[in-house]
Amino acid sequence: MLTVIDEFESYLKSRYSSPNTIKAYLGDVKEFLKLSSGFDTDGVEAFLSVLFKKGLSVSTITRKLASLSVFFDFLRQKGVVDTNPLDVIDKPKQSRPLPKFLEVDEIIALLEGIKDKRDRALVELIYSSSLRASEVLNLNVEDVDLDNLRIRIKRKGGKEVYLPITERAARYLKEYIKDRTGGPLFLNRYGKRLSDRYLRKLIKRYALSSVFKDISPHTLRHSKATHLLNSGMDIRILQRFLGHSSIRATQIYTHLNLKELAEAYDSSHPLARDDG
């Protein structure tokens, strides 16, 4: 006599061509039959509890529940169950990966390792104002207001906003800009605007040589946001500063482990001061 597993295997073979998919589904269902208490919501929830106690990742548990959903559809077709309990059970949510960020001492090491005037001004500005790569690359000299310590940038959608810059960033910008009054702010060796590709290579190279980490321009943006939130900035103000349309995008920074950073920070940001 065929067992439920035998019949389910035939059911899978009639619908899926990949042997690996069939094997995975069968393995998950066999585990369920071994650990569960029944073909109902309580049985599935009991199985789910066991999986969490095992310390399995959310993605692994989600995959096992997908296998069970197929199994219960099979049972429903056979008349064994009336409904699929997976239709009403809350699935574990896949956590959004937390953004990478550098700690304060790593930011200092990165900046101090940059001797080129243009590159120092560029990285200082990205970190100072938590800029996206596109925002810093599209800047023109006339967008920089050194007297009032601010820059004018274009956000997504073309909206123009002013953002503050630190005295440190302003000092390095002044040294780099010199007597230029217009045109692209950051230039390549041919006098043209820097490209996104070159910016990413530049930051990666400096980070690998100073803090031994492979980072992108966005890492600097995440780092500044993390540092500001940790030093007491209201999350609504941070949302406007970063240009997030939704507070949910900003709230990810509240989930970072900032205990060590908090101990390293004073009430005012150490890199906001012009310490030379």
Q: Give the active site residues.
A: 132, 156, 218, 221, 244, 253
CB-based contacts of 139, cutoff 8 Å, min separation 6: 151, 153, 184, 185, 186
**The residue count for the chain:** 276
Residue type, 119: D
